[in-house]
Amino acid sequence: MEMLTNLMQGFAVALEPMNLLWCFIGVFLGTIVGILPGLGPSATVALLLPLATQMNPTAGIIMMSGIYYGAKYGGSTTSILLNVPGESASVVTCLDGFEMARNGRAGPALGIAAIASFIAGTIGVVLLMLVAPPVAEFALRFGPPEYFALMAFGLSMVVLLAGKSMLKALLSMFVGLWLATVGIDMFTDTERYTFDQIELFDGVQFVVVAIGTFAIGEVLANLGNNDKQQMFKVPKGLRNLMPNWQDIKDSRFAFLNGSLVGFFVGVLPGAGSTIASFVSYGIEKAVSKRPEKFGTGVVEGVAAPEAANNSETGGALVPLMTLGIPGSATTAILLAAFILWGLRPGPLLIQDHPEIFWGLVASMYIGNIMLLILNLPLVPAFAQILKLPGYVLYPMIMGISIIGVYSVDQRLLDTWLVAFFGLLGYLMRKVDYPAAPLILGLVLGDLMENAVRQSLMMSQGDISILYTRPLALVILVMTAAVLIGPLFRQVAAWRTKVADQEA
């Protein structure tokens, strides 16, 4: 009853005209930021930090949080339409979203992404409200060994992203792991594979690799298709541009799976939406009745990662609001804003400043409704982009990609690197190497290396710390189960084949 009373007070705060206006401005800016590759919510929130600190703390946190979860909505648009992932979590959406666009179902893909985002965002807010303190305490039990196990579990998803050849998927992942080592080693201050280029001291940026291998590689692979003026088929009629009941039915488990995985992974500081989206996609494929169809344009392959990506926002706010620990780059900036306001997020924030916490929770309910109303009507308009002929669409994709890459750090080297990775992506398509495992290795490699080295420092070089702690051991057993699962399926299929032959 007390929680319901607090929530009603939160709605009273969130529905104040100025707070409502800032909520709309936040989600609208977030949607635009999500569509533009390379910019990202953390950069946008950082740019607006001076403005927000001049505002009322409640209005400021409502606006900046709106940008945070609004960007998750917008990130699916370019992934589905143009195969241009704006952030690491959007890579998984490309796998089936872009294939749905190829099959003339760009509208349903965009619609399902919007619906998944709304459902997952709402579930994330509900869980933030109900289970924040106990879940945050559980997250504190994660040390470097547990993070190593979690990263290993994330990398095991390569089994479910392998496609036709497991060997090719593993080789692609190892290339990503190698790319993750480029830069200055934070433990020894040693240069690794930088070739004396100062620009590489910070490593190879994710945006460069993802946009190069996916977007530029796709354009290069399609340049030879001169027989078609239009890149994709777009069906006529509004009904054909929106998800049908069968799409909703097929995605019902994916909505729940992605929402829960995204929230609980988001609670872990530093884990992020990338692991959440890959894991939810892997779970969805593992339990699906048609796993062989994943990667060819199934609607569940869009719903699961998009749900995880959006629910992660609610999870990431849990350690920030209850413990004062930022779980991502964006929540770190939000923490800075709280400090500038003279507030300290933690257990006493909800007690001493209930209007901020409950106003934020209520505004996230309202903001998710705003985003659904903003995004669903735009689905037909976005889908019309695919009606453009190839000689217009290809240069547009190239332009968006190069501008998106350059806008991150304004470095000319990044434009050369995106061209290199575009050529790499083209070659990978020609020899049938999957690109998603490469991105998975790149994103998780650095985190996994740091977790291993921190663990060894804790144990003074004793490697057993990685598998003797109970929580880490449980996650490693799950990882082993994922890795050997395909082997058991192959043995079962072989036995069935032998039995049929003997019969």
Residue type at position 95 = L
Question: Which one is predicted more confidently, 85 or 233?
Answer: 85
Q: Where is average pLDDT lowest: 60-74, 221-235, 313-327?
A: 221-235
- C-alpha angle with apex 257: 435 to 309, nearest 5 degrees? 55
Q: Binning pLDDT at 50, 70 and 90, where does residue 503 land?
A: low
Which residue range forms the structural domain that includes residue 361? 2-139+207-431
Instruction: Report the alpha-carbon distance of residue 107 to residue 380 in Å, rounded.
Output: 6
Q: Determine the average pLDDT of the residues in 295-319.
A: 85
Task: Identify whether 415 is part of a domain.
Answer: yes
pLDDT of residue 184: 84
Residue 112 clears pLDDT 70, i.e. is over it: yes
Instruction: Dump pLDDT digits (tens) for 433-489.
Output: 888 888 888 888 888 888 888 888 888 888 888 888 888 888 888 888 877 766 666
Task: Identify whether 352 is part of a domain.
Answer: yes
Cα radius of gyration (the chain): 23
pLDDT of residue 150: 83
Instruction: Dump pLDDT digits (tens) for 196-255.
Output: 778 788 888 877 888 888 888 878 887 765 545 445 565 565 566 678 888 888 888 889
Task: Identify whether 438 is part of a domain.
Answer: no
Task: Return the exposure string of 421-460: e unless at least 16 CB atoms fall within 10 Å of the residue's CB, then b.
Answer: bbebbbebbeeebbbbbbbbbbbbbbbbbbbbbbbbeeee
Q: Which residues contact 24 (CB under 8 A, 6 or more apart)?
A: 66, 370
Instruction: Dump pLDDT digits (tens) for 357-401.
Output: 788 888 888 888 888 888 777 777 777 776 777 677 778 888 878
Q: Where is average pLDDT lowest: 130-144, 169-183, 253-267?
A: 130-144
pTM of the model: 0.80
pLDDT of residue 229: 46
pLDDT of residue 493: 64
How many domains are there within the chain?
A: 1
Task: Identify whether 157 is part of a domain.
Answer: no
* Under 8 Å between Cβ of 124 and 105: no
Task: Identify whether 344 is part of a domain.
Answer: yes
pLDDT of residue 315: 81
Instruction: Report the alpha-carbon distance of residue 132 to residue 135 in Å, rounded.
Output: 5
Q: Is 348 exposed, middle or buried (0-12, 13-18, 19+ CB in 10 A)?
A: exposed
Instruction: Report the alpha-carbon distance of residue 227 to residue 59 in Å, rounded.
Output: 54
Task: Identify whether 190 is part of a domain.
Answer: no
Please provide the average confidence, as pLDDT, over all residues in the chain: 80
Task: Identify whether 488 is part of a domain.
Answer: no
Indicate the helix (H) or strand (E) that contains 277.
helix 272-287
Task: Identify whether 17 is part of a domain.
Answer: yes
- Please tell me the chain's helix, strand, coil percentages from 3-state DSSP, rounded to the nearest 5: 80, 0, 20
pLDDT of residue 237: 55
Residue 389 φ then ψ, to 5°: -65, 160
For residue 242, give the DSSP letter: S
Q: Determine the average pLDDT of the residues in 286-305.
A: 84
Q: Which of 142, 150, 255, 138 is nearest to 482 (CA)?
A: 150
